[in-house]
C-alpha cells in the first residue's frame, strides 16, 4: 500500500512509516502515517512551478547546482539562446525533454509589450494546466519573470520584491484551485 504526500501526491511505501516514523518528501512536506493505514484525502490539483531568470553560461551552472536536489518533472524554456543553454545545463543529469516556447521570450522593441507579456502569462498558465501535480521548471528572461510575479500578486511588485527577481534567482509558485501563490 502506498501513502501519498498530502502536498504533491508522491507515493511512499507504507513500510517506511513503521514505529511512528515520518518521511520528508522531496517537496518539503512531512509525510506521516496518521490514524493507521489510510491514505490522506486526495488533494486538489496542485501545480508547482520553479521560475528561473536565465543568464550567462557561468550562471547556468550555478542554477543547475542550486536545483540539483529538486525532483523536476518537466522543463520549459524560452527560445532565447541563454534560456536554452541554461535548460541544457540543468537537464544534464535528468534526461528530460526540454520544451521551448517562443511565447516566453522577452520582447525586443515590441510595439505592444503588454501584449507580449499577456501572451507569456497565458503560456505559463497553459504549462501549469498541462503539468498538474508536477514540479515544472520554467526558464525565461527577467521581464517575463517580473510580469508573471505581477500577475500572481495582482499588482506591481514593490521595490524589494522586484529586486529579488534577477538572473539566477529561483522563484517557487504554486497553483491551487483558489489561485496562484508566490512561495519564495
Core vs surface per residue 98-125: b (16+ CB within 10 A) or e: bebbebbbbbeeeeeeeebbeebbebbb
CA distance 149 to 92: 28
Residue span(s) of the chain under CATH 3.40.50.1240 come to 47-182
Q: Which CATH code is given to the segment(s) 47-182? A: 3.40.50.1240
Q: Assign residue 133 a region (left: φ > 0; alpha: ψ between -120 and 50; beta: otherwise).
A: left
At 53 the three-state DSSP class reads: strand
pLDDT of the chain, 184 residues: tens digit per residue: 677 777 767 777 778 888 878 888 877 788 887 733 344 455 556 677 788 888 788 888 888 888 888 888 888 888 888 888 888 888 888 788 888 888 888 777 655 557 767 888 888 888 887 877 777 888 888 888 888 888 888 888 888 888 888 887 887 887 776 676 677 6
Task: Give the residue among 36, 10, 38, 35 at the shortest CA–CA distance from 23.
Answer: 10
Instruction: Output the pLDDT for position 40.
Output: 46
What pLDDT shows up at residue 36?
36
Amino acid at each position: 500500500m502506498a501513502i501519498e504526500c498530502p502536498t504533491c501526491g508522491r507515493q511512499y511505501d507504507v513500510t517506511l512509516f513503521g514505529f511512528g516514523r515520518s518521511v520528508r518528501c522531496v517537496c518539503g512536506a512531512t509525510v506521516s502515517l496518521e490514524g493507521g493505514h489510510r491514505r490522506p484525502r486526495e488533494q486538489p490539483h496542485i501545480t508547482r512551478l520553479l521560475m528561473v531568470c536565465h543568464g550567462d553560461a557561468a550562471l547556468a551552472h550555478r542554477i543547475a547546482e542550486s536545483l540539483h536536489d529538486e525532483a523536476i518533472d518537466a522543463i520549459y524554456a524560452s527560445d532565447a539562446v541563454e534560456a536554452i543553454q541554461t535548460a541544457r545545463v540543468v537537464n544534464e543529469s535528468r534526461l528530460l525533454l526540454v520544451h521551448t516556447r517562443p511565447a516566453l521570450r522577452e520582447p525586443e522593441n515590441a510595439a505592444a509589450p503588454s501584449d507580449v507579456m499577456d501572451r507569456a502569462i497565458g503560456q505559463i498558465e497553459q504549462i501549469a494546466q498541462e503539468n498538474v501535480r508536477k514540479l515544472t521548471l520554467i526558464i525565461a528572461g527577467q521581464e517575463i519573470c517580473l510580469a508573471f510575479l505581477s500577475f500572481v500578486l495582482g499588482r506591481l511588485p514593490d521595490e524589494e520584491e522586484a529586486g529579488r527577481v534577477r538572473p539566477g534567482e529561483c522563484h517557487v509558485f504554486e497553483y491551487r484551485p483558489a489561485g496562484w501563490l508566490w512561495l519564495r
